[in-house]
Amino acid sequence: MARSGSSAAVVRLAQLRWIDAGGLLTAMALYGAVAEASSFERAVAVQSAGAEVYLTALIMLGITLTHAVIVPLDVRATFWLSSACCAIGVAAAYLVSLVSVPPELLAAKPWLPANQAIFVSVWALLAVTVSSIAARIIHGLQQRVRDANEIGQYVLEERIGEGGMGVVYLARHALLRRPTAVKLLPPQRAGEQAVRRFEQEVRLTSALTHPNTISIFDFGRTPEGVFYYAMEYLDGLTLEDLVAHAGPQPPARVVHILKQVCGSLSEAHESGLIHRDIKPANLMLCVRGRVPDQIKVLDFGLVKEFTAPADVGLSVDGALLGTPAYLAPESILDPRRSDGRADLYALGAVGYYLLVGEPVFESRTLVEACVQHLHNAPVPPSQRMAGPIPAALEQLVLCCLAKAPEARPASALEPLRLLDEAVDAAQWKRGDAERWWRERAPEVARAVKLGRQQGSTPGPRTIAVALDRRAEG
C-alpha cells in the first residue's frame, strides 16, 4: 500500500508539472498574440514599433525568470521550459515588429523585424541562463534540505519532545514507512561523557524486552559526531500531560498504571539496571495493538548498572542525577549507593501524583525539594483528594515513599503482587479505558499538541550517518 501510494504521488506530481508547463506556454502564446494585435492598432512610427518590441520582450522574459524562481524544477526541466518560453517571446517580438513597422519603411528596410528578433534573442539567452542558474541553486538547496532530513534510513519530520539527554523527533523509515521516534544528542551536549552515557542508554535499554518498556530499533553516529538511536513511536500521552489536562485519576486506573510500571521495572532490576529517572514525563500512556491504557517506560538516559563496578567516566562524584520531585533520599545523599529501591520511591511519588494531581512535596528550589525528601513526611493522599481511596493502595504508596530504603518493598515484584492481591476493590476494566480514550482522549490530545507546537521547531532536518563509527555493543 505504501508503494502504490508513493507511485500515485509521483504520477500526480508529473501531471502537475505538465499542466504547469502547458499553462505557461499557452499564457506566453496568448500574450504574444494580444501584443501583436494591439501593436497593429497603435503603430504609427518606427519608435512605436521599437517600444512595442521592448515591452513585449521585457514582460515575457520577466515571466520566464519569475516562473523559474517560484516553481521548483530541476535544471534540465527549467532549461527546456525557459527556452520554449523565450522562443515564443522571440517569435512574438518578430511578429510585433513586422506588424508595427509602416509598410513603406518595411519595404525600404526588410531586415528590421529580423534585427528586432535578434535583439530579443540576446535577452532571451540571458533569461534562459539566469533561469537555469537559479534552478540549479534552488534545486540544490532543496536537495540539501532533503538530505539534512535523513539520518540513516529515517527521515526526520518534526520535533516531538526534549529530555535531559537529547531531542526526540518523529521520523519515518524510508523503506518500511512506519513512524519511528529518533532521539539525537545535540552537538552542544555532545561532550565525551555525555556521548558515552547516551550510548550506554541505548545498549542497556535495547536488552530489555518487557512489553511496557520502549523498544529500540537502531542506533549510530553521524559524520559530525551526533549520536542517535531509533525507537518505537508512541502516539499517546505522558502521565504528566494526563494529569495536567485531565486532573487526578481514579484509584482503579492508578492501580492499572502502577502495575504495568512495576512489570517494566521488575525486568530492569532483575537485569541489574535501575532507571533513576522514573517520573510522569517518562511514562507514556497509549493504545497498543488496540488495547487501551498501555504504559511504556521511556528515557533510560540516567540508567545505571548497579551490579557492575562504577564507571568514573560516566558519573561524576557529587552529581545529582534525576528529577528533584521524584528523587529518593539516598539518591540525594549518595547517588552512587542507589539501587532499585530508589526507583520504587519514584514509583510511589508517581502514584501519589496520579491520585492527588500534585507532587508529594511542593517546592520552588532544588534545595527545598531535597530537604523535604530527606526530612518531611508526606501527607497521606486521602487527606489531599476529595474521593475515597482504597486503604491498601494508600498504604503501598506511602510504603514506597519511606525515607529508609530498607523500609520500602524489596523489589518491584512486591508492589506488583500487592497491587494484584491487596487492591481487589480497584478494578479498571477495558471498557472503562476504551470509554476514556473515546470520549476524553481527543480533547486532552488537542491541548497537549497545542502546547507542544509553541515550543517545537518547524520542518524536518537531514543528517547523514557514519556507519563506520557505529558503537559496538
State the amino acid at position 366 in one-letter form.
L
> Looking at 218, 241, 277, 343, which residue is catalytic?
277
Q: Is 328 within 8 Å of 342 (Cβ atoms)?
A: yes
Residue 76 exposed, middle or buried by CB count within 10 Å (0-12, 13-18, 19+): exposed
Helix 340-356 vs helix 391-400: crossing angle, to nearest 10: 140
Taking the C-alpha atoms of residue 414 and residue 406, their distance in angstroms, rounded to an integer, is 13
Taking the C-alpha atoms of residue 319 and residue 308, their distance in angstroms, rounded to an integer, is 19
Q: What is the 3-state secondary structure (H, E, C) of the chain?
A: CHHHHHHHHHHHHHHHHHHHHHHHHHHHHHHHHHHHHHHHHHCCCHHHHHHHHHHHHHHHHHHHHHHHHHCCCCHHHHHHHHHHHHHHHHHHHHHHHHHHCCHHHHHHCCCHHHHHHHHHHHHHHHHHHHHHHHHHHHHHHHHHHHHHCEECCEEEEEEEEEECCEEEEEEEECCCCCEEEEEECCHHHCCHHHHHHHHHHHHHHCCCCCCCECCEEEEEECCCCCEEEEEECCCCEEHHHHHHHHCCCCHHHHHHHHHHHHHHHHHHHHCCEECCCCCHHHEEEEEECCEEEEEEECCCCCCEECCCCCCCCCCCCCCCCCCHHHCCHHHHHCHHHCCHHHHHHHHHHHHHHHHHCCCCCCCCCHHHHHHHHHHCCCCCHHHCCCCCCCHHHHHHHHHHCCCCHHHCCCCCHHHHHHHHHCCCCCCCCHHHHHHHHHHCHHHHHHHHHHHHHHCCCCCCCCCCCEHHHCCCC
Phi, psi of 353 (to 5 degrees): -65, -40
Q: Who's near 46: CB < 8 A, 6+ residues apart?
A: 101, 102, 105, 112
Q: Is 241 a catalytic residue?
A: no
Which grid cell sits at 83?
527556452
Which residue is listed with cell 522571440? 90
Indicate which residues carry an active-site annotation: 277
